[in-house]
Amino acid sequence: MLRRLLREPLVHFVLLGGLVFAVDRARHRPEPELRAVRVDTAVRDGLREEFARRNGRDPTATELRGMVEGYVEDELLYREALTLGLDRGDPIVRRRLVQKMELTLQGVAAAREPTDAELAALLREEAGRWERPPSTSLTQVFLRDGRIGEPPEAAAHALLRALEGGADPRALGDPFVAGATLAAQRDDALAATFSPGFAAALRDLPAGRWAGPIRSRYGLHLVRVDAREGGGPPELATVRDALRARWFEQAQVRVRREAIGALRGRYRVEVAPTPARPAETRVAAVREAIQ
């Protein structure tokens, strides 16, 4: 980006003037105050890895020296650009720096793993988020509307007597698109599969006994409720991963809020009042005149 800016005449002039000023300032500054540009092992290794990633091989000694020299030149230009304030007023630079700060804060939030006690506390605090809805497991025998022969209600009652006598439900009734056995179905899933009225009727049926017929949008059903699960909060082990993700999400929010609070104590924030628009000014003048 800096190399592109250097091709602009006005920016070139401003930068040259700033550099002249900086050089003059450096001449009159005591040597100990000179800022150091250090190329340590981590920087050198990073340059080598970046070269290998792009070229598929390690750099030669000459290539590495050239990359180090390029890094030093870029670092000098970068630091002087910050000194001259060239980063100010550039929305792209500002956004990138804010993003890097956000990533830094996220790293702080992820610096440690939550304990089981913290996850259990989160499970209690947000019980509604993790609560399992009630579910029903059932076996059903279906009789479609429009069957030839006796009326569906009479056929259903005859099948009910056979089921109560121990008949195999798999050998009775008509095929149903969702099958004869449905396991751990939530009320909303039952309402979508059968009908809301069917799901509501199941709530009053005793478990382990054949009952019906109950009407759905497809026809009549004889139903045996095999099991009910009342819902409630899950075991920690079953939702550990989701709880952990939620804990880190809250930790990031907390760390960011604390960091912003600390930064506000180091800066004076001044916000200019929003000027009134002409229409608002006229309305205010009219109200003042009326009063």
User: Are residues 188 and 146 part of one domain?
Assistant: yes
pLDDT value, residue 47: 92
**Residues 75-92: tens digit of each pLDDT:** 888 888 888 888 888 888
Question: Residue 275: inside a domain, yes or no?
Answer: no
209 and 139 within one domain: yes
Nearest to 158 by CA among 198, 212, 111: 212
Q: Do residues 143 and 63 both lie within one domain?
A: no
Instruction: Tell me, yes or no, whether 98 and 167 share the same domain.
Output: no
For 82, the domain range is 2-88
Per-residue burial over 198-227, b = 16 or more CB atoms within 10 Å of its CB, e = otherwise: bbebbeebeeeebbbbbbbebbbbbbbbee
For the chain, the domain total comes to 3
Three-state secondary-structure class, residue 140:
strand
Same domain for 224 and 191, yes or no, is: yes
pLDDT confidence of 4, banded at 50, 70, 90? Answer: very low
Residues 45 and 29 in one domain: yes
pLDDT of residue 53: 92
Same domain, 13 and 84: yes
pLDDT confidence band for 11 (50 / 70 / 90): very low
Same domain (yes/no): 251, 190: no
Q: Are residues 163 and 224 in the same domain?
A: yes
User: Is 100 inside any structural domain?
Assistant: yes
Question: Is the pLDDT confidence value at 180 over 60?
Answer: yes
Are residues 147 and 213 part of one domain? yes
Q: Are residues 182 and 41 in the same domain?
A: no
- What is the structure's pLDDT at 19? 37
- Same domain for 79 and 147: no
Percent of the chain with pLDDT over 70: 80
Give 216-251 pLDDT, tens digit per residue. 888 889 888 888 876 667 777 778 888 888 889 888
